Amino acid sequence: MQISVVIPLLNEEQSLAELYNWIAKVMRSNSFSYEIIFIDDGSTDASWKTIQTIAENDKAVKGIKFNRNYGKSQALHAGFLKAEGDVIITMDADLQDNPDEIPELYSKITKDGYELVSGWKKKRYDSVLAKNLPSKLFNAAARKTSGLKLHDFNCGLKAYKKDVVKNIDVYGEMHRYIPVLAKNAGFYKITEKEVKHQARKYGRTKFGPERFIFGFLDLLTIWFLSKFGRRPMHLFGSLGVLMFIIGFFTAGFVGFSKLYKMYHGVPNTLVALNPWFYIALTVMIIGSQLFLAGFVGELILRSKRDKERYLITKTTENY
């Protein structure tokens, strides 16, 4: 199979039939062998019924339904597990991503040799203050932190070589940083393609301004995990040992100073009244705690096991 189209969605019943017809038209006109995977992330409208109806009429369409809303990252994770195509295309279900981009995205993977192609919505139809400006700040921070020169990390329209989606772990809210996850996993052939952005036709956006706050927090998380996620002792242990040594020598200096003054008959105060004594003890305690945090992190890393992060209640008969 050449292409798997993975589409996470939440309450998009109005756009699903039109999106399916558009994708199917593009696939058939280019003679692609394909599958379309809809992941219903706990919709409360008739989205699942629409998916079932489409799947009954087209065996290339497959559906997965969550028992509740888990988030876009979990939906993508489920879709990636099921995808069988050599190239995986992701897009949003709100018709703001253009399926006509699929052939060129596919070509960049299969002919140009890229492992991940990220869409770049250079011209957007979103609110300037509510989405465009925060998005520019967000992407600038992501470029600086990750080293990837992409303009639009969070564009839903992306193309992946199959090996990429099978070897990255999309969890939490990390769908914003899939290119960074791919780079950290050793996939360096990453580029972007300018894609056409369309105004929302039905419904309303599912994302509020808080997503940018969460996005920056996730960016810090992924930066930390990329550097120390597999070796927490290198960070916490090093800081712990450094602070313990500083505290130890500070305490030693306080004690030596006390003995020196006593030996030479110089008036001095009790060690317990010297503020540097308590500073030294505090630094030593914090250093010990940091070291133990690194040690516990190593134990957790070695003993962790994969756990189910979402509950699938239904799938279409095509599965």
**Tens digit of pLDDT for each residue in 253-293?**
888 888 887 877 777 778 778 888 899 999 999 999 988 88
Q: What is the pLDDT of residues 102-159, one digit of tens each?
A: 999 999 999 999 999 999 987 766 555 555 666 777 788 778 878 888 988 888 999 9
More confident residue, 295 or 17: 17
Q: What is the pLDDT of residues 146-203, one digit of tens each?
A: 888 898 888 899 999 999 999 998 877 788 889 988 998 899 999 999 998 777 777 6
Q: What is the pLDDT of residue 53?
A: 95
Q: Residue 60: which pLDDT band, with cuts at 50, 70 and 90?
A: very high
The residues near 217 (Cβ < 8 Å, ≥ 6 apart) are none
Share of the chain above pLDDT 70, in %: 86
- Supply φ then ψ for residue 166, to 5 degrees: -85, -5
Average the pLDDT over 6-30 and give the result. Answer: 96
Asked if pLDDT for residue 304 goes beyond 60, the answer is no
CA distance readout (Å), 291 to 29, 139, 237, 240, 288: 61, 34, 4, 5, 5
Tokens of 238: 């090093």
Rounded distance between C-alpha atoms, residue 108 and residue 210, angstroms: 34
∠ CA 85-89-94, nearest 5°, is 135
